[in-house]
């Protein structure tokens, strides 16, 4: 699996953060079809951010693929049409323990990107899969502080 992160990860711009970085340690993924990293230290200015992942306040990122990759079913011999097009889902999930109210136990916030790829398109149309991901990731990279502000203020 080529989902591999290099440490430290340079964080995206966020309101109130200056050059955020995250040092990663290899962690145990929930399944054998994934890789997981835990944040072992933070860098830059991130006032109020816990410095590392812990059991009560995790700070992890998990990258996974399907346990079993699905393939196309045979074309219907009478109609010449695919009976169904299964999807292979790839997931990137970041978890961070957060305090919902001062003095209360932490709860886990999470950000999830799920990429659903129709079986067969990886061979028949890889350029358009890459174009989809280019736009998706490029758009997220263009507005990271705005996404953070929206999640904090509720204003889109």
Query: CA dist 85 to 114, 120, 121, 125, 156, Å?
Result: 18, 8, 10, 14, 35
User: What is the Cα gyration radius of the chain?
Assistant: 19
Among 25, 3, 22, which Cα is nearest to 11's?
22
pLDDT (average), residues 95-117: 95
Class of the CATH-defined domain 9-71+84-119: mainly beta
pLDDT, tens digit, for every residue of 64-79? 999 999 999 889 999 9
Share of the chain above pLDDT 70, in %: 99
- Is 84:71 a contact under the CB 8 Å cutoff? no
What confidence score (pLDDT) does residue 1 get? 46
- Judged by DSSP in three states, 61 sits in strand
- Judged by DSSP in three states, 46 sits in coil
Mean pLDDT across the chain? 92
Residue 118 has pLDDT above 60, yes or no: yes
pLDDT, tens digit, for every residue of 19-41? 999 999 999 999 999 999 999 99
> What is d(CA 156, CA 150) in angstroms, rounded to the nearest whole number?
5
CA 134 to chain centre: 15
Strand 87-98, strand 107-118: pairing: antiparallel
What confidence score (pLDDT) does residue 2 get? 74
Most confident among 2-11, 93-102, 131-140 (mean pLDDT): 93-102
What confidence score (pLDDT) does residue 135 get? 85
pLDDT (average), residues 31-58: 92
Q: Where are the beta strands (DSSP E) in 4-140?
A: 9-10, 18-27, 34-45, 59-64, 87-98, 107-118
């Amino acid at each position: 699996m080529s989902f591999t992160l290099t440490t430290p990860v340079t964080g995206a711009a966020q309101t109130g953060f200056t050059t955020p970085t995250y040092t990663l340690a290899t962690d145990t993924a929930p399944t054998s079809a994934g890789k997981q990293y835990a944040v072992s230290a933070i860098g830059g200015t991130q006032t109020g951010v816990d410095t590392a992942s812990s059991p009560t306040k995790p700070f992890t990122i998990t990258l996974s693929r399907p346990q079993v990759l699905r393939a196309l079913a045979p074309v219907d011999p009478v109609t010449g049409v695919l009976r169904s097009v299964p999807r292979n889902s790839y997931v990137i999930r970041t978890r961070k323990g957060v305090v919902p109210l001062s003095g209360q136990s932490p709860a886990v916030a999470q950000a999830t990107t799920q990429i659903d790829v129709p079986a067969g398109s990886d061979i028949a149309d890889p350029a358009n899969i890459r174009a989809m991901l280019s736009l998706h990731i490029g758009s997220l990279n263009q507005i990271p502080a705005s996404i953070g502000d929206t999640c904090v203020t509720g204003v889109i």
